Amino acid sequence: MFVPLSGADITETEKEHVSNVLNSGRLALGPYLDKFENIVKEYIGSKYAVAVNSGTSALHLIVKALNFNKGQKMIVTPFTFISSANVALYEGGVPTFVDIDPFSYNISQENLKYFVENNLEKNVKLFMGVDIFGVPLDWDKVYKLLPENVNIIEDSCEALGGEYKGKKLGTFGQAGAFAFYPNKQITTGEGGIIVTDNEELYDICKSMSNQGRGKSGEWLISERLGYNYRMDEMSAALGYAQMTRISEISKKRSEKAYNYFELFKKEKSVVLPYIPKETTSQSWFVFVLRLNLDWIKEFVSIPNWVVNYELPIKIIGEKNREEWKNIIERLRNFLFTFLKKLNERGVQSKNYFHPVHLQPFYQKFFGYSEGDFPKAELTSCLTFAIPFFSNITFEQQEHVYKVVVKCLQETKNEISF
């Protein structure tokens, strides 16, 4: 049996709305763009929304609209999709990483507190808060820890529909962003959206998304530097149709997640996703399992301080760094051997995520190396996404469970360090 990693939930409703666009001949800047923006902002509870061609574009426009300039710094997690950090580079700024919590995989409150109290970086302008895998940051604590002069952006690209203490994600910063790639909760094919209550920020983002044109709508007059970040009409129609079904889609994904929790709850080789108590509604983007270090230590030599995630802010000293690199290499070798087996047997699975600071060009430009953000690095060597989408069947999920357990056991028998 082949089980894909992800799949969009497309019905006749979506086809009908996209066909409406094709039949109308209005393929850009049409009525569906307004309809999609309106249905999203009503669902999120924001005053304004700007639909764009990707989540990356949404984040970039917010960063630029908040006057983030060359040389300024933006706090961000190293354990995220790379665009969360790249948008700072687009404006000549510097992504400044803070390590993660080993349970939620979001920025660690402890590390953020240490960062702020020790004033490790000056000229910090922005905080990019990522609700990783749809799990919310502890936003109350974030606001208590950050200085008032630091503007907050919420990267909720993976978290549509999630709630923190009864409030929708995407609404905890100056602006929030969602993304709609085909593996997301809803899809527009490619696309994203900005949500905000700030009218001035909305006006700037709306203008910049459309070549800098002003409110007059004069086609060839630009009031500011802008981009072609517009969402096309077919994508907007698809997104609108998906949003009319958002409750149905969210319920399906929650049911699929519950199935996996039941299937894996007694399996000692993996750790299930952690949902903080402040999460009043979990938004399921992907289903990520983590290899259990208590299980791995039985056949892979790992120090207890690693098994217990008793990791320092940074690995210091050449000897310590070499030891750390060896540990990471052993774990990564195990994970990728295991993932190769899964994929060869038709269960599509991928490592989530490779740390941003260890991406080749980040290492080249900033000199990062293993040991700079150990919690993110260790988590990266242990986490993997298994097939998860709205219409995955229970039969497919049972198959995934059996193949995962079998491949883990086979990898354990083959690899010993």
Tens-binned pLDDT, residue by residue, of the chain (417 aa)? 999 999 999 999 999 999 999 999 999 999 999 999 999 999 999 999 999 999 999 999 999 999 999 999 999 999 999 999 999 999 999 999 999 999 999 999 999 999 999 977 789 999 999 999 999 999 999 999 999 999 999 999 999 999 999 999 999 999 999 999 999 999 999 999 999 999 999 999 999 999 999 887 778 899 999 999 999 999 999 999 999 999 999 999 999 999 999 999 999 999 999 999 999 999 999 999 999 999 999 998 899 999 999 999 999 999 999 999 999 999 999 999 999 999 999 999 999 999 999 999 999 999 999 999 999 999 999 999 999 999 999 999 999 999 999 999 999 998 765
* Distances 170 to 45, 153, 173, 179 between C-alpha atoms, Å: 9, 9, 7, 11
Is the domain of 292 the same as that of 177?
Answer: no
Which of 212, 246, 280 is where one domain is finished?
246
Give the per-residue pLDDT at 416: 62
Question: Which region, left, alpha or beta, applies to residue 329 given φ > 0 means left and ψ of -120 to 50 means alpha?
Answer: alpha
Distance of alpha carbon 140 from alpha carbon 316, whole angstroms: 32
Examine residue 119 and state whether it is found in any structural domain, yes or no. Answer: yes
**Structural domains counted in the chain:** 2
Is the domain of 141 the same as that of 277?
Answer: no
What is the Cα gyration radius of the chain? 22
CB-based contact 83:110 (threshold 8 Å): no
Which of 205, 229, 246 is where one domain is finished?
246
Is the domain of 178 the same as that of 231?
Answer: yes
Which of 223, 246, 269 is where one domain is finished?
246
Using a cut of 0.95, tell me whether the model's pTM lies above it: yes
Is the domain of 262 the same as that of 170?
Answer: no
The secondary structure of 95-152 as a DSSP string is EEE--B-TTT-SBPHHHHHHHHHTT-SSSEEEEEEE-GGGPPP-HHHHHHHS-TTSEE
Could you tell me the CATH number of the domain that includes residue 128?
3.40.640.10
Is the domain of 269 the same as that of 357?
Answer: yes
Is the domain of 87 the same as that of 233?
Answer: yes
Examine residue 144 and state whether it is found in any structural domain, yes or no. Answer: yes
Is the domain of 211 the same as that of 360?
Answer: no
What is the layout of strands, in order, in the sheet containing 167-168?
167-168, 163-164, 279-281
Is the domain of 240 the same as that of 376?
Answer: no
Examine residue 272 and state whether it is found in any structural domain, yes or no. Answer: yes
Examine residue 265 and state whether it is found in any structural domain, yes or no. Answer: yes
Examine residue 6 and state whether it is found in any structural domain, yes or no. Answer: no
Examine residue 7 and state whether it is found in any structural domain, yes or no. Answer: no
Is the domain of 294 the same as that of 375?
Answer: yes
* Distances 16 to 23, 40, 240 between C-alpha atoms, Å: 10, 20, 11
Its domain, for residue 53, covers 12-246
Could you tell me the CATH number of the domain that includes residue 258?
3.90.1150.10
Is the domain of 209 the same as that of 346?
Answer: no
Which residues, in sequence order, are bridge partners of residue 193? 51, 178
